[in-house]
Amino acid sequence: MIHTKTLRLRTLASLLAVAVMLSASPPAYTEPTEEEEKGTAAEEVASPAAEARPTEPQKAATTSDETAKSNDEKAASEDTITAKDEKPDKLTIASWGGAYSESQRRAYFTPFQSETGISIDVVSHNGKFDSLNPDDANKLKWDIIDVDSGALEQACRDGHLEKVDASALIKASDGTSVGDDFFPDTLHECGVPSVAWSSAIVFDKRAFKKKNLPKTAKDFFDVKRFPGKRALPNGPKYTLELALMADGVAPDEVYQTLATEAGVKRALNRLDAIRDHIVWWEQAHQPLKLLDRQGVTMAVAFNGRIFSAIVAESKPFGIVWDGQVFDVDLWAIPKGSPHLKSALEFIAFATKPTQLARQAGWFPYGPMRRSAVELVGKHPEVDVDMSAYIPTSKQNFKRALRLNASWWREHEDELKKRLQVWTTGDGGSADTGSDAESENAG
């Protein structure tokens, strides 16, 4: 979003942590605790409310004709957000906490408060779908929520989210329409895409000659040219997609191929090439630890952790983006949010290309608008070109596959069993262990 929502990578050693460690003038940020790193903290993230007091909302006098017009507009737009709610003192946003929410504060929350006078209170959620249950006590406390695509699909289908009118979003500066500027098939009736995070191949440069470094997904499965152990997430997600792309399947054909018996066999046959070289990982920090102590030479890991290892910890690692599997986070509005108009105003502000690029400058997740990607440059306080580390930059996005959460809901149990049988090598039914932790919290 493996994507069992048991861990959120977002709070791990981000660009903000890099700034703390490397900058002569570090930002006012505290390294997240271990509990926060795992995405289980329920405490509120520091709110920028103390930085500037919002002005009191001003009520405009409303004539009877204006009232009638407003009522007609509401009736005509029952399924979209057109509410004429009074400007609130604050909005409450549920996000993932830690360094990820801190990057959002810098890119979205504080600038929005300065522009509108509306303060932002940020609370952490754990990524579970029950956070969006309309019977949850948090429902009326949250105006906006940052969710992954799987949770959004289910919540929208079950009627737990407001529908979002994309016409309220802001065009690119060159006039490109919203529909053409966002990456294809990412705008959703119940949410607006913000950032992408991904799995990618990471390798130990010490293990290979400088003139012969891995460059493609195919190289991950070539133990003759690139010898050594491989670390893979313990489960079919990411693993089977990578196997098929390494075998020549185009990203847009992966899931239809994997839905067939021949496609499953093809993926497992590709895994046969490294059967005796696989080390299965279950916790998201493990592949980088294995690389560091030279227990493996190549691994599949999440891009935020890879960035942290390379930039913050100066590890001698390299990235292969070919065959990356990415997922998307979106801004959504829980059903019954008390400030619909202001919530949509925030989403429109936060998904402006300039603001998306600003977050990518602090944190290595990829903006979901093409014009925003073009604006991503160096980290504000550290001499690091962030475009090299985000999934959606032009050079990294050439052979990328979007994780299909709906497809996995239908096929995961079956493919988990198939992978378990393949692992035993004798037609048995041994369990490979718990599923690997995900980018998301559980």
293 Cβ neighbours under 8 A, 6+ residues apart = none
370 belongs to a structural domain: yes
Q: Is 153 in the same domain as 299?
A: no
pTM above 0.75, yes or no: yes
Based on the fold, state whether residues 101 and 140 are members of the same structural domain.
yes
Residue range 192-215: mean pLDDT, rounded:
96
Kindly state whether residues 84 and 227 are assigned to the same domain: no
Residues 6+ apart with CB under 8 A from 111: 349, 355
Are 189 and 155 in a shared domain? yes
Domain identity same for 32 and 154: yes
Is the domain of 247 the same as that of 373? no
In a domain? residue 436? no
- Whether 335 has a pLDDT exceeding 70, the answer reads yes
Of the listed ranges 3-17, 43-57, 160-174, 303-317, the one predicted with least confidence: 43-57
How buried is residue 312: exposed, middle or buried, by Cβ count under 10 Å (0-12/13-18/19+)? buried
- CA 412 to chain centroid, in Å, comes to 20
Least confident of 30-44, 55-69, 386-400: 30-44
The answer to the question of residue 159 being in a domain is yes
In this structure, are 353 and 411 located in the same domain? no
Strands 144-148 and 317-332: antiparallel
Looking at the domain assignment, is residue 363 inside a domain? Answer: yes
Percent of the chain with pLDDT over 90: 69
134 or 325, greater pLDDT: 325
The pLDDT, as a whole number, for residue 38 is 31
- Assign residue 278 the CATH number of its domain: 3.40.190.10
| Residue 441 located in a structural domain | no
Element (H, E) at 181: helix 178-181
pLDDT at 292: 98
Whole-number average pLDDT of the chain = 81
Q: Is 431 exposed, middle or buried (0-12, 13-18, 19+ CB in 10 A)?
A: exposed
d(CA 121, CA 105): 10
Percent of the chain whose predicted confidence (pLDDT) is above 70: 74
Helix residue ranges, H only, 3-135 = 15-22, 34-37, 64-76, 98-104, 110-116
pLDDT in tens, 205-241: 999 999 999 999 999 999 999 999 999 999 999 999 9
Q: Does the pLDDT value for residue 321 go beyond 70?
A: yes
Q: What is the mean pLDDT of residues 3-16?
A: 38
Instruction: Please check whether residues 187 and 242 belong to one and the same domain.
Output: no
Shared-domain flag, residues 187 and 290: no
Average pLDDT of the segment spanning 358-372: 97
Query: Please, are residues 367 and 129 in contact by the beta-carbon 8 Å criterion?
Result: no
In a domain, 117, yes or no: yes
pLDDT of residue 136: 60
Is the confidence at residue 31, as pLDDT, over 70?
Answer: no
Q: Are residues 183 and 302 in the same domain?
A: no
Task: Give CA–CA dist 311/318, Å, rounded.
Answer: 11
Query: Among the listed ranges 19-28, 151-160, 260-269, 286-295, which one has the minimum average pLDDT value?
Result: 19-28
Instruction: Identify the pLDDT of residue 438.
Output: 57
- Domain assignment of residue 420, given as a range: 199-326+404-424
In a domain, 429, yes or no: no
Which pLDDT belongs to residue 78?
40
Q: Cβ–Cβ contacts within 10 Å for residue 166, how many?
A: 16
182 and 91 assigned to the same domain: yes
Counted domains in the chain? 2
Residue 108 has pLDDT above 70, yes or no: yes
pLDDT for the residue 424 = 86
The C-alpha angle 251, 242, 288, rounded to 5 degrees, equals 130
Angle at 47 between CA 43 and CA 53, to 5 degrees: 145
For residue 129, what is the DSSP state?
Answer: G
Indicate if 248 and 281 belong to the same structural domain: yes
- Residue 435: the pLDDT is 64
Provide φ and ψ at 84, rounded to 5°.
-100, 50
Provide the pLDDT confidence category of residue 98 given band limits of 50, 70 and 90: confident
Report yes or no on 176 lying in a domain. yes
For residue 398, what are the β-bridge partners? none
Residue 438 CA, chain-centre distance (Å), reads: 11
The answer to whether 93 and 145 have CB atoms below 8 angstroms apart is: yes
